Copies of this chain bind each other. A is one copy, B any other.
């Protein structure tokens, strides 16, 4: 893997390396003719600038790191594609790492990325733990950073989140409108703002309609989590009339278990998911779900990051709250 370097070009043309360097970054004084001569020769020799060397001296990389908790749901991949679209336009490359829902792996990922001199970081938390203090440290060092979706609470940083309060409220209200009163709330990890906001939405919808709230169960975001909870409910013969699930995967897991045990959805149990995976419209019954604007979340995060990148750390942390939509389908509607 021998590469052509700037020196080879310099020697070939008997100019200084600094001149060759200037030819590539026009910002410096260089005679157009010699620049063209160098550029031509470079192309001829198949020269590609070595980003590693450049990083070392410039202390920047034009790389952005994105850290996500998991790959299983299509949610995060879609957010990434949104972010990529914006960042590519500004000549940033995107490095993706996934933390497998582990806080430790997450900070290890973050550290590798930082060591590799990414110019900025876009992060969705796997959980809350010793990662927070590390992120605070990074922010203290003016590292451009934006959180999305699963964001930390007590940290001064730019964030882009979904309006979980509002849509948990609407989703709950939708179930109430259908006449259900015993609505189980499946929450994501308690420490996430996201969970708290949904909880408030759920509570307030009950308050508005003067109905006592149902139970709450804390759960992860995978199908497996849904399966476990459903099995648990069945074994305890503790079947709610309706369920507001943590996300679609969780909802789908539950539905399968319930169906296998002879329950009818929505006749016996109604259910609403969250995040609108592509599955929602295709499973049986089709799943009512709160749709999140995944691409837009990615784009917004990228844009916030770009701002920070341009202002070199001096910026006011903002939180962008994005709106969604409730896609009503079979799983929550009983015709009476």
- By a CB distance below 8 angstroms, the chain B residues around A55 are 52
Q: Which residues of B contact A114 (CB under 8 A)?
A: 1
- In the complex, are the beta carbons of A115 and B48 less than 8 A apart? yes
Whether A252 sits at the interface, judged by CB under 8 Å, is: yes
Complex contacts, A56 vs chain B, CB 8 Å: 52-53, 56
Residues in A51-95 with C-beta less than 8 Å from chain B: 51-53, 55-56, 59, 71-72, 74, 77-78, 80-81, 84, 93-95
Instruction: Choose among B72, B81, B141 the residue that contacts A77 (Cβ–Cβ < 8 A).
Output: B72
Q: Is A256 an interface residue (CB 8 A)?
A: yes
Q: Are A284 and B283 neighbours in the complex by a CB distance under 8 Å?
A: yes
Contact of A51 among B95, B115, B252 (CB under 8 A): B115
Per-residue interface assignment for chain A, residues 266 to 307, with 1 indicating a CB less than 8 Å from any chain B CB and 0 otherwise: 000000000000110111110000000000000000000000
Cβ proximity bits A112-143 to B, threshold 8 Å, 1 near / 0 not? 10111100000000000000000000000111
Interface size, chain A (Cβ < 8 Å): 46
Q: Which residue of B lies closest to A287 (CB)?
A: B282
The winner among A2, A114, A278, A282 for most chain B CB atoms within 10 A is: A282
Assembly CA distance A285 to B59 (angstroms): 55
User: Which residue of B has the minimal Cβ distance to A119?
Assistant: B1
Q: How far is the CA of A124 from the CA of B55 in the complex (A)?
A: 29
- Whether B72 contacts A252 by the Cβ 8 Å rule is no
- Taking CB atoms, residues of chain B closer than 8 Å to A93 are 112
Interface residues of chain A, those whose CB is within 8 Å of chain B, are: 1-2, 48-53, 55-56, 59, 71-72, 74, 77-78, 80-81, 84, 93-98, 100, 111-112, 114-117, 141-143, 223, 252, 255-256, 278-279, 281-285
Which 3 pairs from chain A and chain B are nearest by CB?
A284-B284, A71-B77, A282-B283
